[in-house]
A = this chain, B = another copy of it.
């Protein structure tokens, strides 16, 4: 975050009396959790036979209304839309948080962000004032070493793993992509508005910040990802293509400058679209497209100059515009092309869904909040009774969705004035099927409001009492904590 973010964080820190804090924050992970992680990874079998590749294509701050197929009338995304038609479009897909680091922690670990000490806003550049402020509050500034990422599991199972693009889960040794299972890494440690923006290859600087051209980042990330696909076409691989765009600043590639009806933002989007088209072409050319599970989505809602469509709110909010993101899953032989699901799901589902598809065991020492959504992807119902959403600054659980209804019970960690405007600071039950979070329908649906409020409270208590979501080994489980944590 630039100076603006620092100022905002400072204001928040001064005002905030309800901060989420963990006794384990900012320290070294306990040896037993590192040992449990190691034991779990040791238990992962090596893959045998033909097994699907895994590709995630993740955009940064791309809003629900930014694709043509999601209603945008200015930005043209023909490649992405054609790509999406090969799979199932998820119209009700979420990040648990309206900002980047929490969302990415959730997607890679299958756990709500607070489980990984990653709930309270984004990790800041080491050495910056914002990072010092985080430290002074006891907030972690990188993914804890005892967390297990999808790449850890897949690498152990024998996949070649690569991250191309943005990481944003720590910028110090021990918290880098290569510390969490990515054998190959080409990209940046954090968002493209943070400094210094070196381009890294593994743990060494490939291009120093002063030589990095923002205009060609999307293209270079794609080049590297395509190279990875070619190099590993004959073996199982996991490619995480994590674009820095369309996060601001918006610097269009000269090849797409001034072409979009959506202005500079549209230029950046259409450059992304072209490069996703290149990825798709490479998968087809390498005959990988019939054996690759692909998830395409965004980390949170639209921010500067991006579109939330007709959803309320934007990046950072627990309104739908902050957390609902466009998404599609391509899974040849499993998902019927050109289908749509209106069932709710979340990026935490990626981890268990992929592990289940590959017959790999889940960790047993920690809560995995995500669920296998394979059935949902083929027209089935969501496996979730409830989904939860965090505030972007304090990392507090502020909203819960259960089917049609969403209950939002604002906490006071964010800027008071901003939150009160338009009733955003008041608790309310919303009917998502018929309204974009304006009318409080509590009086019409008191039972639903009560159920969601109670469930949200229960989840708040559970996540506060067992912040990291550890599950004692069976011999220690006499207190029932494991059941509680599993709930």
Contacts and interface: CB of A to CB of B under 8 A. Distances in A.
Contact of A307 (B11, B73, B438): B438
B422 A307 contact: no
Contact of A436 (B8, B307, B442): B307
Contacts of A170: none
A342 to B, nearest CB: 16
A258 interface: yes
A271 to B, nearest CB: 14
A440 B265 contact: yes
Given A303-B422, A417-B418, A439 B266 contact: yes
A267 to B, nearest CB: 7
B63 A438 contact: yes
Contacts of A302: 422, 438
A305 interface: yes
Interface of A: 4, 7-8, 11, 63, 65, 72-75, 248, 258, 260-267, 302-310, 314-316, 415, 417-418, 420-423, 426, 428-429, 431, 434-436, 438-444
Contact of A262 (B73, B307, B441): B441
Contacts of A267: 443
A314 B262 CA distance: 23
B439 A265 contact: yes
B258 A438 contact: no
A226 to B, nearest CB: 29
Contacts of A303: 422-423
Given A65-B438, A73-B435, A260 B305 contact: no
A8 B418 CA distance: 10
A406 to B, nearest CB: 13
Contacts of A260: 444
Nearest to A265: B439
A441 B307 CA distance: 13
Contact of A443 (B258, B306, B441): B258
B444 A305 contact: no
Nearest to A248: B423
Contacts of A436: 307, 310
B63 A444 contact: no
A383 to B, nearest CB: 28
A80 to B, nearest CB: 17
Contacts of A307: 435-436, 438-439
A423 B304 contact: yes
A269 to B, nearest CB: 9
Contacts of A8: 417
A256 B256 CA distance: 56
Contacts of A309: 310
Nearest to A441: B263
A8 B73 CA distance: 37
B264 A305 contact: no
A185 B200 CA distance: 73
A92 B194 CA distance: 41
Contacts of A314: 421-422
Nearest 10 interchain pairs by C-beta: A304-B423, A310-B310, A73-B434, A263-B441, A307-B438, A314-B422, A418-B418, A262-B439, A263-B440, A305-B423
13 contacts: A65-B438, A74-B431, A258-B444, A263-B442, A265-B438, A265-B440, A267-B443, A305-B426, A305-B428, A305-B439, A316-B421, A415-B417, A415-B418
A426 B260 CA distance: 20
A171 to B, nearest CB: 25
A153 B240 CA distance: 70
